[in-house]
Amino acid sequence: MDAAEQEPRYALAGTIGHDDAQRPRLMGGLCVQCGAKVFPKPKICSACWSTDQQDLALAARGRLYSFSIVHAARKGWPSPYAIAYVDLEDGVRICAPLDADLSQPPQLDIAVELVVGRLRTDGDGTAVLSHRVKPVQEAR
């Protein structure tokens, strides 16, 4: 097995990190000058033009703002699949594939958490991974 096979292929290079507990985290940028939090990490802050940008592990939880179940997908995408806008707890909105029972779609505004999973398969048969979100299973 060579290195290329061991390294997962991500849809968005450099956006998946891990915290101390080895849980996956979505990586964005923190502007050192003005504090803006942005996903994905920019080369320059659109607010203050600072190029001093730090890696930032974005909030692992958020609120399901809206979603759609996509039936007419682009070529090469397995359908149906669900795609969502999620408002992370740190004020950043992300677009993310949604893991949900498509026959019983979730309600809006429920809590969701970040996971990493398969997005699609590339032409060469390699799985392409991405951040995803799934409904939080609340403890009772």
Partner 1 sequence: MRKVAVIGASMGRIGRYPDMMFQDLGWPAVKGAIEDAGLERKQIEAVYCGSAYGGRLAGQRALRPLGMTGIPVVNCENACSSGATAFREAYHAIAAGRYDRVLVLGIDKLSMLGGGVLPGQPEDWEVDVGLTMPALYAMRARRYMHDFSLTREQLSQVSVKARRHGALNPFAQYQKPVTLDEVMAARLVAEPFGLLHCCPTGDGAAALVLCAGELAAQSTTKPVWVAGAELTSGLYVTGYRDITTAQITERGAHEVYEESGISPQDVDVAEVHDAFAIAELMYYEALGFCKKGDAFQLLESGATSVGGRIPVNMSGGLLSKGHPVGATGAAQIVEVIWQLRGQAGARQAQGAKVGLTHCTGGGIAGLDHGACAITLLKT
Nearer of residues 26 and 60 to partner 1, judged by Cβ: 26
- Smallest gap, in angstroms, from Cβ of residue 92 to partner 1? 6
Task: Tell me whether residue 43 or residue 140 sits nearer to partner 1 (CB atom).
Answer: 43
| Closer Cβ to partner 1, 21 or 26, answer by number | 26
Using the minimum distance from each CB to partner 1, give the nearer residue, 2 or 110: 110
Helix (H) or strand (E) holding 6: helix 3-6
Cα distances (angstroms) measured from residue 38 to each of 41, 51, 59, 91:
6, 13, 12, 9
β-strand 93-98 against 61-70: which pairing, if any?
A: unpaired
Residue 96: which residues within 8 A CB-CB, separation 6 or more? 83, 84, 85, 86, 114, 130, 131, 132, 133
Q: How far is the CB of 139 from partner 1 (least distance, A)?
A: 26
- From the CB of 94, what's the least distance to partner 1, in Å? 9
Q: How far apart are CA 31 and CA 49, in angstroms?
A: 9
Q: What's phi and psi for 4, nearest 5 deg?
A: -65, -35
* Cα 98–chain centre separation: 9
| Residue whose CB is less far from partner 1, 95 or 136 | 95
Residues within the interface to partner 1 (CB under 8 A): 11-12, 36-40, 46, 65-75, 77, 80-81, 83-85, 87, 91-93, 95-97, 105, 108, 119-120, 130-131
Q: Residue 91 Cβ, how far from partner 1 at the closest point, in Å?
A: 5
Minimum CB separation from partner 1 for residue 69, in Å? 4
